[in-house]
Structure 1
Amino acid sequence: MLGLFKAKKKTSQIKVLIVDDEPDLISTVEYRLKCAACRTVTASNGQEGLERAAAEKPDLILLDTNMPVMDGHEMLGRLQADPTLKHIPVIMLTARCESKDIAAASAHGVSDYVTKPFDFAELMAKIQAIVKARGQA
């Protein structure tokens, strides 16, 4: 049949875990990532984020700082302490832009730090660059 119905090779999608307590931000970022052919998983606090990271093994985590139950810095510390999760790159996506916040995130080995409001095209470029550098895309 001339190969008209051959299965197309599936390209690998980037799986991104979005951890933020703002539902509007989550839905906006999730929508934009899905439009960019990414798969998404979401969590509304650090504890839930850790559980989702362990269950889903995302390629990258977008992490807010200020959240209830467990904040982003505590989640970062716990990610780094877990040998099965510490390899997952993290981009802080937060409104906090003080040097002490950036230094604390840096101490935990974040891949990048993006402050809200942000340009989605720049965020997507950072995500793709980090995942590509790690050989995941």
Structure 2
Amino acid sequence: MRIDIRDYAHPDAVKLIAEVQQEYVIRYGGVDETPVDPAEFTPPSGLFLVGYLDDVPVASGGWRVHDEQTAEMKRLYVNPTARGRGLARAVLAELERTAVERGLRRLILETGTKQPEAIELYLTSGYAPIPPFGHYADSPNARHLGKILTP
């Protein structure tokens, strides 16, 4: 898989973001309502990645600065046609690498109980429960995870 940095408004990013939002509708009954400003995913404040197989956009993920040492991960997604190939893990690794390169020392995220495969990915990648934060801090379906990054 080729992974490219893309603007959050790039057509390939928009396509994958719409797909992940539809996944949330199927699993939770509605889209992710977390406030997102596309500019937050523009370097140096953030980054958005799109993964390609044979020039077809199939995976995405991004991070935005949360505080001086921390980035929040958003929109880690793999199209169903490309799942089971380790692409989410590859995008996650690149998000971690680029966050470290930016000088950040921790990644945090929100996911949900109806995404057990995502929870498993994060737990097996070294993420652990953290105090709730953000839009879904009080949601019983939300899981908040974080990881200390090492250069």
Relative to the length of structure 1, the TM-score reads 0.38
More strand by share: 2
Q: Give the number of the structure whose residues are more often helix, by fraction.
A: 1
TM-score w.r.t. length of structure 2: 0.36
Greater Rg by CA: 1
